[in-house]
Amino acid sequence: MKPVVVFGIGDFAEQVLFYLEHDSPCQVAAFSVDQAYLRETSFKGRPVAPFETLERDYPPDDYDVFVAMGYNDLNRLRAERIALVRSKGYRMINYIHSSALIPNDLRIGENCFFLEKVVVQPFTRIGDGVVILTDTGLGHNADVGDCCYISGGCCIAAFVSFGPRCFVSLNATFRPGVKIGHSVIVGAGALMLEDAPDESVYIAKGTARAPRGSRLYKRFI
């Protein structure tokens, strides 16, 4: 297994470093950013290399890459960087937490990141650059397009499909067979019972604040 260069030096990159160090055989050799954003020569005890010369300093024959970019610009920046890394000839690793339950024959792309207790049932397809956070479940025959970001606690039933670059917030629920277009935003706690067209947005109403302050509830708590 090749050592890994992580692209990015933000919060997501720090998280990736933690999980690769504590829950995988991968060794992080260095970080990388674009020259314009290179402010420090090291991050978390590893060198930071300019992306423009990455193949010279860390050649693709000797190193793999993980692109640690979040959902900024509705996942487009991550998608663009994955394409650039691939054009340099690198293989991109996947990280799947040891507690995740996934089928052995899962069809999965590169640069995916699954956290604790993710459950994926058989006959599901996962594209490149997909992030799935803790306690999310995907039913059988689901299809997740490239560079989707699915937050924790989501319940995604069988035959649900997502186009590229969707963002799904915490605890959203999808009924079987729902088709979600590309670049769709699904807010926290949303209940998706119908297909969602491209670039649509769904926001669930939050819990209303009670008219009385907490002092009036002291005798009950």
DSSP line for 62-121: T-EEEE---STTTTHHHHHHHHHHHHTT--B--EE-TT-B--TT-EE-SS-EE-TT-EE-
In words, the CATH class of domain 94-202 is mainly beta
The model's pTM: 0.95
Show pLDDT as tens, one digit a residue, over the chain (221 residues): 899 999 999 999 999 999 999 999 999 999 999 999 998 899 999 999 999 999 999 999 999 999 999 999 999 999 999 999 999 999 999 999 999 999 999 999 999 999 999 999 999 999 999 999 999 999 999 999 999 999 999 999 999 999 999 999 999 999 999 999 999 999 999 999 999 999 999 999 999 998 888 888 777 66
CATH of domain 4-87: 3.40.50.20
DSSP line for 188-199: TT-EE-S-B-TT
The two tokens of residue 171 are 């605890």
Instruction: Report domain extents, the chain.
Output: 4-87, 94-202
Distance CA 145, CA 9 (A): 26
